[in-house]
Amino acid sequence: MPRFLLVPSLARGNGSGHLVRCLSLARELDRIPGCSSAVFLPEDPDSGSRGAREIEEAFPDRVRGLRLVRSRTEAEAGTWDFVVLDRRRTSLREEAGWRARAPTVALDEGGSAVASASFLVDILPRAGRIPAAGRPNLDSRGFLHLPAARRSSPPGKFERVLLAFGGEDPRGLGPAAARALTEWGFFEPRALTLVTGALREETAEIPEGIRRSGPVPDLAETLASYDLVVTQFGLTAFEAAWAGCAVILVNPSRYHAALARKAGFPTAGIGRPDRRAFGRLLADPSALAAVSAAAAPAASESLAERLASLRPGASGACPVCGSTDRSARARYPRKTYFRCASCGMVYRELFEGGGNPYVESYFFEEYRKQYGRTYLEDFPALRAFAASRLDILERLLPAPRDGRRPVVLDVGCAYGAFLAEASRRGWDARGLDVAESAAAYVRETLGLPASSGDFLDPAVRASLPGGLDCLSLWYVIEHFETLGEALRAASDLVRPGGILAFSTPSGGGISARSDPGGFFDRSPDDHATVWEPRRTAGILRRFGFRVERIRVTGHHPERFPGALGEPGAARIAGSASRILGLGDTFECYARRVRGSGRED
């Protein structure tokens, strides 16, 4: 189970909702066996923020028993699997600083960190149009800390009214609403209860007879005892709707009003109460209750349990160049894709699943599901592919003048189709595969040298021959979690003038261009990187390779929009795919260059 550091917003003016949510979430995480958490409450906060002492005095019951991290130095010294950011608006720089400690999970993020955070969870709706790359990994109102106490039936009239505007209420909307509702004659003072927030620094005058309630430790569980809750957009609005109350919002800003409209809550004023809007909404209690109920979450879910299920291990950096500067391309519940701002590589961070799928069953049952036959049944076709690749290699690599056989190491050799064809042509062909059963078949049936192991394992690499004429990786290179390490190893193994050859799915093909969201969603989870032909030369140059040829393959006319709609369209699409290089896979042949400035 993972270890979490929760970083709430402590800025004055941001209210207490983010803080209270982090404190509650920390307590829930600590109840999950094997899971642990800490909350970042610095004793010496930034200017304009609240410190640990003030928070502990305002929320003694919520803080008691939690582990508190009281300085950035202590946070950096800790060991975390995830940093949870509940800061309302986080800058790219702030997010990158926390991501240097562990992958970041951003809750209801409204700042520029939506582009760079490892994992996004939207619990409250976001205003405006959200681009595909900015959509969250998870989006559910059910992750709110919803009260257990709920009304048995919706209110038919409003006899008990609660006014609750958060722990801070910097605009003084609570007292303003209390005065307005009584002065306009909508309610007698005795019908109203005004909750004073724990962080409220001063209290405005309110009409006599209105009940004032000090900070309520668990306000959500009291909501069901009221008929109507007047609040602003935020956690209390959803909690009240879930509890079965009618809800009216008076929002502090147009931004909050836009969020309220998106969520479906009725608003009666921005910055101050609106008499006409209140009159219209209060005139029909049943209709108001129905609208409020529609804005309530559909079901209650445990955010703590969902976060505890995330798979730790993402590095938070580009696997090629190590840069942490990035922007999200697509997000899904199990993974996020980013483009590195430095080298341009698209890479994914995985939060569910993992492990090595390339066990023996992959080459039989799984291979048959994908291609209609097992690997061995497909052996003749695979040898034909190998022949076309070797034609290119032999044009790029003239036969050695000393009469020796050129040496090729095929990493991910499977059951040896490429090795068999290379050996037939006179190459000294050797293989490496993570599946021992595959390596054993190459040794025992084909009679060719092959070993099993992970290319990224230094001990395995130490056993491999150097001075290679060719290192091949046919649909393997996209699997390396630490691609930079693999390319450095390839550069060490291939002699100057030798060739690195690989094939891989293309992020520049028709599938990725016409439906990028679907392309990334369908991309196998064990593919750690997504290569694009036009960026390949720049990436390989970093490791001492010069691209000699790129051959675009995997042309599928049927994947072009409208290609099957009219006679001849598929033929035209096929021609366009070849001319424009829009195939869904490609092969790369790159020469190891002496004195190229290879990374070391």
Q: Which of 121, 124, 182, 70 is nearest to 331 (CA)?
A: 121
Residue 396 buriedness (CB in 10 A; 0-12 / 13-18 / 19+): middle
Pairing of strands 3-8, 346-350: unpaired
Q: Regarding predicted confidence, which is higher, 373 or 464?
A: 464
How many CA atoms does the CB half-sphere of 185 hold within 13 Å? 2
d(CA 107, CA 572): 47
Tell whether the model's pLDDT for residue 188 goes beyond 80. Answer: yes
pLDDT, tens digit (0-9, with 9 covering 90-100), for 390-401: 999 999 998 777
Q: What is the pLDDT of residue 403?
A: 77
pLDDT of residue 205: 78
Strands 211-213 and 192-195, bridge-based pairing: parallel
Only one residue has tokens 């508190």, namely 68
* 345-360 residue pLDDT tens: 999 999 998 766 666 6
Q: Check residue 563 and give its pLDDT.
A: 66
Tens digits of residue pLDDT in 93-117: 999 999 999 999 999 998 999 999 9
DSSP secondary structure, 204-273, as one string: ----TT-EEE---TTGGGGGGG-SEEEE-SSHHHHHHHHHT-EEEEEESSHHHHHHHHHHT--EEEESS-
Interstrand relation of 468-474 and 407-411 (parallel, antiparallel or unpaired): parallel
Pick from 10, 30, 31: which is nearest to 20 by CA? Answer: 10
pLDDT at 204 over 70: no
Which tokens in the block code for residue 9?
């917003």
Matching residue, tokens 């305002």: 58
Condensed to tens digits (0 to 9), the pLDDT of residues 518-537 reads 999 999 999 999 999 999 99
Q: Which helix (H) or strand (E) holds 23?
A: helix 17-31
HSE value, Cβ hemisphere, 13 Å, CA-based, for 116: 25
Long-range pairs for 448-453 at CB < 8 Å and ≥24 separation? 448/416, 448/419, 448/420, 448/423, 450/413, 450/416, 450/419
CA distance 167 to 15: 6
Question: Could you give the residue ranges of the DSSP H alpha helices within 397-532?
Answer: 417-424, 436-441, 458-462, 483-493, 510-514, 516-522
The CA distance from 428 to 410, in Å, is 11
Cα separation, 128 vs 114, in Å, equals 14
What is the rounded distance in angstroms from the CA atom of residue 220 to the CA atom of residue 222? 5
Sorted by where each starts, the structural domains of the chain and their CATH numbers stand as: 3-139 (3.40.50), 161-295 (3.40.50.2000), 374-592 (3.40.50.150)
User: Is a pLDDT exceeding 90 seen at residue 560?
Assistant: no
Of 220-229, 480-489, 559-568, the range with the lowest mean pLDDT is 559-568
d(CA 157, CA 199): 32
What is the reported pLDDT for 328? 96
Tokens for 483, please give them.
């691609």
User: What pairs with residue 36 in β-bridges?
Assistant: 3
Among 109-113, 490-494, 548-552, where is mean pLDDT lowest? Answer: 109-113
Check pLDDT > 90 for residue 592: yes
> Of 187-201, 273-287, 475-489, 503-517, where does mean pLDDT reach its minimum?
187-201
* Cβ–Cβ under 8 Å, residues 180 and 273: yes
Closest CA to 272 of 261, 285, 257: 257
With tokens 């209060």, the residue in question is 282
pLDDT in tens, 130-180: 776 678 999 999 999 899 999 999 999 999 999 999 877 888 899 999 999
Residue 587 to residue 505: CA distance in whole angstroms: 9
* CB-based contact 288:248 (threshold 8 Å): yes
Q: What percent of the chain has pLDDT over 70?
A: 95
Rounded to an integer, the average pLDDT of 539-556 is 95
Predicted confidence at residue 302, as pLDDT, reads 95
3-state SS, one letter per residue, for 120-150: EEECCCCCCCCCHHHCCCEECHHHCCCCCCC
Residue 95: CB atoms within 10 Å: 26
* pLDDT recorded at residue 598: 46
Grade residue 235 by pLDDT with cuts at 50, 70 and 90.
Answer: confident
Span 411-440, mean pLDDT?
96
The Cα–Cα gap between 62 and 301 comes to: 21
Q: In the predicted model, what is the mean pLDDT of the chain?
A: 91
pLDDT-above-90 percentage for the chain: 75
Residue 490 has pLDDT above 60, yes or no: yes
* pLDDT over 50 at 446, yes or no: yes
